[in-house]
Every structure is written in structure tokens, then in C-alpha cells.
Amino acid sequence: MTDTTANNKEITPKANFIHQLVEKDLAEGKNNGRVLTRFPPEPNGYLHIGHAKSICLNFGIAQKFGGLTNLRFDDTNPEKEEDEYVKSIMEDVRWLGFDWGDRLYYASDFFQNLYDFAVQLIREGKAYVDDQDAETISEQKGSPTRPGVESPFRSRSIEENLLLFEGMKNGDFDEGSKVLRAKIDMASPNMHMRDPILYRIMKTPHHRTGDKWVIYPLYDFAHGQCDYWEGITHSVCTLEFEVHRPLYDWFIDQLKDSDYRPRQIEFARLNLTYTVMSKRKLLELVRDKYVSGWDDPRMPTISGLRRRGYTPASIRNFADRVGVTKVEGTSDVTLLEHSVREDLNKTALRVMGVINPLKVVITNYPEGQTEEMDAINNPEDPEAGIRTVPFTREIYIEQDDFMENPPNKFFRLSPGREVRLRYAYFVTCTDVVKDDQGNIVEVHCTYDPASRGGNSPDGRKVKSTIHWVSVPHAIEAEVRLYDRLFTVEDPAGDKERDFKEYLNPDSLVVMPRCFVEPSVKDASPLSHYQFERLGYFNVDPDSNPEKMVFNRTVLLKDAWSKEKSKGA
């Protein structure tokens, strides 16, 4: 994996309420000063920016308090989980800059332990096999405001339960015909305590255990115990699991043989404007081809952001900036965008590229002559050095940088106006060439030979500097202009309408004929550039020597476009 980001310096995460709780535990001498967190994804999809927040949080806590972090795959549902996802998740966590060392776990590593624990619960009269179907069980569960009723199978004998559960394990029963349930309290105000299902029969091969098991534990029966067996001290998860905590505590109460127990702490998941974050919706976008894949640069997935040109540091900084609380809110994408700009501004090489080419002929410049102009690679980083850019009589400039009838505050090229060609010469527009339809096809200028390098010895000023690419030296490239995937801040917020109705039709605009200066010729995939005055771009993996492809990561802040929209 290639990443050219130099800015990988450690950031000290901003203290948040979880840090404070950990600090307090440490001060009280809990867990003998040990801190072990974990990142527990289900391998049923690609990781997104919300997971990045969790990853940074969990690894960040461990780093801050001298602890470690486990990577654990919660793979208790073989119908949804795939190895492809396991691979992508590991790749993404590493790319973000975190390392779980040899602490790689799977919930499926604990299938036997879980089974044994279930048998223990049966022996203690705390679990039973229920023969009812899903619908019946669901009805009997009641509702948040109505207590449930007990299953007629609730009082089976321990012996019978043991026998039946073993039968379930041995594949003697059909899928859906039996489940194992905990015997807790059908009248509990907490729905999760109403005899939750522990095991279901599923004759689906598992990505790791194959067909060894035909019964699988449910997440609720697996997660807390895995934490326990791994020795997790602080089990950080999102808010929706808050109501599950009493159940997890109940399981650990049945299991523990010391004072140790993992402490679960919940925080608010990340929401971002102009995108969706649920795996189900992201999967839908991928499956129904609204995007090119999980790593489509418009996706909020980590792989999508990577392909878009985001850097690990920018995502880590973003995660730190949004903070960690229990308040459910929505963060502004502009904060994410600010984080990449901030990082790329310091690290990306500057280069000139023209996206909407307009040909300019410098009529008093010698035909056939080429000059090599010195250009600074990164004004923010002197170490990046300089390069030369070829200059000739015919160049491309940006269509937006020329207006025949400019409004008041337009500083760029227009008839009679002089501007600077960056690192080259002052030029003055003398003529506009149009086709039969009246479209501008070419602009003629004259240059001031004394202004070589970009300054005139007489000290006269120009209002603007524009970028350019020499026609004979230009590398033709495809540039993919990405914008927000959705047109509204909260596409999933409207219950009446499908979120896909808010898809932004202009989220991808492909510019097939752009021109870039020759220095980028051998750029490797994913390397970052700033196209001066336009934005940050990176080389797409689709790029090849015959046809380079760039993705626009994010625009530069643009005072002119703001000025324009004011007038509108």
C-alpha cells in the first residue's frame, strides 16, 4: 500500500469522558493497572469513517494509558460474514496506522467456550430449549410497555434441556425449530432481559469453522463473554448497546470467578452530513451499482476515502476533532474536508493541471522555442525542492480563468488585461478567436520578455496569477471530479422517502480531456498532488502510463467562487 503522507506524527488525543473513566479506574487500582481495549467489527461489510472514530478511540485509549488493543471479528452470523471483509478490515485498520500485534481474535475462536457456558447455564437451571417458532416467541416477548408471557417450554427439566441442546448441536433438528433461551425475567422492563435467545440452529457453513457447528450463538451471548475471556478491561461501544448492558452483566455474573469484569462504556456513533453511514444502506449502494464499489471515492468507507485521496493522518485528526460524547449529533463534512486540506497543504506536491482547457497562443513568443521555468514543489515545505516546467508559445489555461466580459471583481484574464502565468511571464490578452457559433476557441496574448520567472523589472503589479500547461508537453489525463454523494444534509432523515432519491446526480463528473504538466508522468497510484488553484488530487488505481487518471479529493478554499455566489 502506498501512502505519501509525511504527516504521521503521533497526535495526543483530546481527553474525553472515556479517558476520564479509564483514568479513574487506574487511580483506583482496578485491573492491576492493566488497560486492554478492543475493536470488534463484524466482517459483513467494509469499514467506514464511523468505524475509524471507534478505531482511533480504542487504540487511542490504549496508547494513552500504556495498554493494548485487540482486533476481534464478531463472526457469529455465517449468513452475512465473508472472508473478503475480514481482509479489507485488517487492511483498513493498518492503513489508519494502528497495530494489534498478535492479538487477533474471532468470536468463533470461542464457540466451544460459549457452548460449554451454555451447558453450564442449563445445568444451573438458567437456560432452556424453546420449541416455538420465531413469531410466537416474538409475540410472547411483549412490548416495551407490555410485559411478556412465559414460554410453555420454560420449565422443562434440566436433563431434557441438556439432551435437546446436544441434539441441536448434533444437527438433529431443523433450522428454526428450536432455540436455547436464558431463563431470566419475562416481565422485565428491559426487553433484553425477557429470556433472550442464546443459540439458534443455522446450517450454514461458517467462514472459519466450516460446517463444524450447526448452532451459532447470538451476538448478545457472545460479545461480553469474548471480552471477558480476552481480558478486556474497557469495552467501548456505541449507544444502542447501553440497554444491553444489564444482560451482559448478567452473563458475566454467571461466569466470573474473580472481581475482574470488563467495563462497558457507550459513546455516540459518528454521523456526517451529506452521506449515509449504515452498513445496510452502503451495501445497497454497492449492490445496486449506484457507486462503483465499496471503495468508490464517494463512499464514506475507509477504502473509499483512501481512494479519494484522504490520508490516515487527516482521518485521525478528524476523529480527534469530532470528539467523543454521549450526545447524538451530526458532524459537518466540512470538518472532514478541512482535515484533509490541512494535511495535504503541508505534504502534497504542487503541480499545474488544466481541467477545462482553453488554448492560448502567445503571438510574440518565438515558434518552436521551449524554456524550462523553475517552479516550487511545495511552498509549505522547502525540503520538497524545485522542479522545472516547460513553457512554449502555445499553452492551455483554465476556461474559468478567462472572461470576455468580466464582472467587477474578476481579476483574471480578459481582453486588454495583463496577468501572470505562474512561474513564467506576464501576458496581456489581445484577441479572442471564436467559432461560427460564437464560442471562444482560442485566446491570443502577447508576453513581456522582461517578466521571465514571473516578475517585471519595472515593478508593475498584476491582479492575478493563473496556471497553465504547455501544449506540446501536456500529459492528457482523465480527471474525476467528485462531489457529495447526496444533495441533502441528512439523506436518511426523511422516513417518507427513500434515501436514494437524494443521490446527487453530479457527485461524479468525468473530465476526459485534461492536461497536466509532465512532471507527474511517473506518479504512483494514490500519490497526492495539489493542482495549483484547483484543489487536491490523487492518482487513481485505474491510472496507467497510457492514460493517467486523477481523482479530485477536495477543492481548495475558493474566495472567488464565494464572491460569485454572493452576486447570484
Partner RNA sequence: UGUCCUGUGGUGUAAUUGGUAACACGUCUGACUCUGGAUCAGAAGAGUUCAGGUUCGAGCCCUGACAGGACAACCA
Among residues 139 and 547, whose Cβ is nearest to RNA?
Answer: 139
The single residue among 409, 460, 497, 521 that binds RNA, judged by CB under 7 A, is 409
Question: Residue 533 is placed in which grid cell?
Answer: 488553484
Q: Are 162 and 174 in contact (CB under 8 A)?
A: no
The single residue among 83, 116, 159, 175 that binds RNA, judged by CB under 7 A, is 175
- Report in angstroms how near the CB of residue 350 gets to RNA at its nearest: 5
The one segment of 252-260, 324-332, 387-395, 429-437 that binds RNA by CB under 7 A:
324-332
- Alpha-carbon gap, residue 261 to 255, rounded angstroms: 10
The backbone torsions φ and ψ at residue 434, rounded to the nearest 5 degrees and listed phi first, read: -120, 160
Closest CA to 180 of 143, 218, 228, 124: 218
The single residue among 8, 16, 356, 446 that binds RNA, judged by CB under 7 A, is 16
C-alpha to C-alpha distances, 34 to 39, 106, 228, 390, nearest whole angstrom: 17, 22, 14, 61
Q: Does 321 bind RNA (CB under 7 A)?
A: yes
Residue with cell 471480552: 227
DSSP label of 269: P
Question: Residue 328 is placed in which grid cell?
Answer: 447524538
Q: Are 38 and 72 in contact (CB under 8 A)?
A: yes
- Alpha-carbon gap, residue 525 to 515, rounded angstroms: 18
C-alpha to C-alpha distances, 49 to 169, 201, 225, 293, nearest whole angstrom: 38, 34, 27, 16
Q: Does 191 bind RNA (CB under 7 A)?
A: yes
The single residue among 2, 12, 32, 143 that binds RNA, judged by CB under 7 A, is 143
Q: Are 304 and 292 in contact (CB under 8 A)?
A: no
Q: Does 15 bind RNA (CB under 7 A)?
A: yes
- Report in angstroms how near the CB of residue 165 gets to RNA at its nearest: 14
Q: Which residues pair with 554 in a beta bridge?
A: 536
In the Cβ-directed half-sphere of 544, how many Cα atoms lie within 13 Å? 2
Interface of this chain with RNA, residues 480 to 519, rule: CB under 7 A: none
The single residue among 179, 236, 299, 360 that binds RNA, judged by CB under 7 A, is 179
CA 8 from chain center: how many Å?
A: 18
Interface of this chain with RNA, residues 426 to 455, rule: CB under 7 A: 453-455
Q: Does 327 bind RNA (CB under 7 A)?
A: yes
Residue with cell 477536495: 554
3-class secondary-structure state, position 192: helix
Q: Does 134 bind RNA (CB under 7 A)?
A: yes
Interface of this chain with RNA, residues 32 to 61, rule: CB under 7 A: 42, 44
Among residues 205 and 512, whose Cβ is nearest to RNA?
Answer: 205
The single residue among 8, 132, 209, 446 that binds RNA, judged by CB under 7 A, is 132
Catalytic residue among 279, 341, 480, 484: 279
Determine whether 159 is an active site residue. no
Number of residues that bind RNA (CB under 7 A): 92
- Alpha-carbon gap, residue 160 to 125, rounded angstroms: 11
Among residues 339 and 392, whose Cβ is nearest to RNA?
Answer: 339
Q: Does 243 bind RNA (CB under 7 A)?
A: yes
- Report in angstroms how near the CB of residue 212 gets to RNA at its nearest: 16
Q: Does 184 bind RNA (CB under 7 A)?
A: no
Determine whether 42 is an active site residue. yes
Interface of this chain with RNA, residues 356 to 395, rule: CB under 7 A: 378-380
The single residue among 112, 120, 138, 170 that binds RNA, judged by CB under 7 A, is 138
Residue with cell 437456560: 127
Interface of this chain with RNA, residues 73 to 112, rule: CB under 7 A: 74, 76-77, 79-80
Alpha helices, H only, 16-157: 17-27, 49-64, 83-95, 111-123, 134-140
The single residue among 101, 437, 562, 568 that binds RNA, judged by CB under 7 A, is 562
Q: Are 495 and 369 in contact (CB under 8 A)?
A: no
- Report in angstroms how near the CB of residue 427 gets to RNA at its nearest: 12
Question: Residue 467 is placed in which grid cell?
Answer: 496556471
Q: Does 323 bind RNA (CB under 7 A)?
A: yes
Catalytic residue among 269, 281, 346, 359: 269
Q: Does 335 bind RNA (CB under 7 A)?
A: yes
Please name the helix (run of DSSP H) or strand (run of DSSP E) that holds residue 199, with its range, or none: strand 197-201
Determine whether 418 is an active site residue. no
The single residue among 87, 256, 513, 557 that binds RNA, judged by CB under 7 A, is 557
The one segment of 160-168, 227-235, 416-424, 509-517 that binds RNA by CB under 7 A:
416-424
- Report in angstroms how near the CB of residue 450 gets to RNA at its nearest: 12
The single residue among 173, 260, 290, 560 that binds RNA, judged by CB under 7 A, is 560
Give the pairing type, strands 475-482 and 468-470.
unpaired
- Alpha-carbon gap, residue 156 to 153, rounded angstroms: 6
- Report in angstroms how near the CB of residue 221 gets to RNA at its nearest: 8
Task: Please list the active-site residues.
Answer: 42, 269, 279
